[in-house]
């Protein structure tokens, strides 16, 4: 049933929280870093607004969602884009069934009202104009002003905010007055081998141990060279490999290294196969020979 609230005589329709299967598997210290940022240690204290940093696919969104759920809070996710407008972040007018204007709260504002967690996903894809509308929310004021609805909305005491950020050519520089409000920085790094096996096993529980270990060895070799291949890529490689085997009437749980390399090429790129366990030693020897030749000049 649609939930509505009245703020300064204006009726606002709330958005639903996200309900997805996301469990954090791996380094528990990062969960505690996020919990610490959201803690209140004094009646005059207020929560911080952490930014979660890391390469695409390392689990930033999962971290925020899983932490919110562990705190027994509803979690709302707002996907930021280059086209996100201030009103998209706050309240949008729509035409209701009786041809009247109705006001619909964004996932952010709904989280503010309900005392939930809001994740601004890929926040640095938004322009400064959109960020400016959130400045008072991220300090002691803890409110936003909706010009469209003509109301000021104060955040519930239990409301928590965090932002994930990627670094690529389609992102904006965050203005300093916003950057100073998005603290602390929480870094999500590549997982170690044991954690990566657990993550893959959780996400692809229908594969075999042999396939898991071959894929993790591939990913760990790539991590050594800081290649942007992540556990998300590993999940997609395994799933595509198993689907291809099933389609061709083959045992999907059996590892065929040649076909696995073909799946890597489909998901990533041909050069990625150099990190496969049976190719990696040869690749490293070639790299060493190349470095030795360069040292002659």
pLDDT at 48: 97
- Judgement on whether residues 174 and 202 belong to the same structural domain of the protein: no
- Judgement on whether residues 28 and 166 belong to the same structural domain of the protein: yes
297 has pLDDT over 50: no
Which CATH number is 87's domain given? 3.40.50.300
- Judgement on whether residues 59 and 83 belong to the same structural domain of the protein: yes
- The predicted-structure confidence for 223-259, as pLDDT tens digits, reads as follows 999 999 999 999 999 999 999 999 999 999 999 999 9
- The predicted-structure confidence for 138-148, as pLDDT tens digits, reads as follows 999 999 999 99
- Judgement on whether residues 168 and 283 belong to the same structural domain of the protein: no
- Judgement on whether residues 157 and 227 belong to the same structural domain of the protein: no
Q: Which residue has the higher pLDDT, 284 or 213?
A: 213
- Judgement on whether residues 47 and 183 belong to the same structural domain of the protein: yes
Beta bridge partners of 12: 5, 103
Sorting pLDDT into bands at 50, 70 and 90, what band is 104? very high
- Helix ranges, the chain (H): 28-38, 60-70, 86-89, 107-114, 128-132, 176-179, 193-203, 209-224, 231-247, 257-267, 277-294
Q: What 3-state class would DSSP assign to 232?
A: helix
CA 23 from centroid of its chain's CA atoms: 12
- Judgement on whether residues 266 and 165 belong to the same structural domain of the protein: no
Is 295 contained in some domain? Answer: no
Q: What is the DSSP letter of 226?
A: T
pLDDT at 157: 96
pLDDT at 280: 85
**Average pLDDT score over the chain:** 92
Report residue 222 as tokens.
């790539």
Is 272 contained in some domain? Answer: yes
- Judgement on whether residues 163 and 204 belong to the same structural domain of the protein: no
pLDDT at 296: 36
* Domain with 34 in it: 4-187
- Judgement on whether residues 55 and 141 belong to the same structural domain of the protein: yes
Q: Which of 167, 187, 207 is the last residue of a domain?
A: 187
What proportion of the chain, given as a percentage, has pLDDT over 70?
94
Q: What is the model's pTM?
A: 0.86
293 has pLDDT over 70: no
Is 129 contained in some domain? Answer: yes
Q: Which of 128, 154, 187 is the last residue of a domain?
A: 187
Residue 92 CA to residue 127 CA, distance in Å, equals 18
Is 199 contained in some domain? Answer: yes
- Judgement on whether residues 57 and 104 belong to the same structural domain of the protein: yes
- Judgement on whether residues 102 and 248 belong to the same structural domain of the protein: no
130 has pLDDT over 70: yes
Is 45 contained in some domain? Answer: yes
Total number of domains constituting the chain: 2
Is 91 contained in some domain? Answer: yes
- Judgement on whether residues 176 and 68 belong to the same structural domain of the protein: yes
């Amino acid at each position: 049933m649609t939930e509505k609230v009245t703020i300064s005589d204006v009726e606002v329709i709330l958005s639903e929280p996200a309900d997805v299967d996301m469990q954090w598997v791996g380094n528990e210290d990062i969960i505690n870093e996020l919990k610490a940022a959201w803690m209140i240690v004094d009646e005059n204290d207020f929560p911080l607004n952490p930014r979660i940093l890391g390469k695409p696919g390392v689990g930033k969104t999962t971290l925020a969602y899983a932490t919110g759920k562990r705190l027994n809070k509803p979690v709302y996710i707002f996907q930021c884009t280059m086209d996100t407008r201030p009103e998209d972040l706050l309240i949008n007018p729509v035409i209701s069934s009786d041809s009247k204007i109705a006001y619909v709260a964004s996932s952010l504002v709904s989280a503010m009202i309900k005392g939930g967690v809001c994740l601004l996903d890929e926040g640095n894809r938004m322009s400064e104009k959109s960020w400016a509308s959130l400045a008072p929310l991220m300090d002691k004021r803890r409110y936003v002003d909706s010009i469209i609805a003509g109301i000021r909305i104060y955040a519930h005491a239990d409301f928590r905010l965090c932002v994930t950020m990627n670094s690529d050519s389609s992102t904006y520089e965050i203005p300093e007055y916003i950057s100073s409000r998005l603290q602390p920085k929480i870094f999500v790094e590549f997982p170690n081998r044991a954690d990566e096996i657990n993550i893959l096993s959780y996400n692809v529980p229908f594969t075999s141990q042999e396939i898991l270990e071959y894929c993790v060895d591939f990913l760990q070799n790539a991590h050594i060279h800081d290649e942007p291949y992540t556990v998300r890529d590993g999940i997609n490689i395994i799933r595509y490999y198993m689907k291809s085997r099933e389609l061709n009437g083959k045992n999907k749980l059996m590892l065929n290294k040649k076909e696995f390399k073909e799946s890597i090429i489909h998901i990533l790129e041909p050069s990625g196969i150099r990190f496969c366990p049976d190719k990696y030693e040869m690749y490293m020897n070639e790299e060493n020979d190349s470095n030795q030749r360069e040292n002659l000049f």
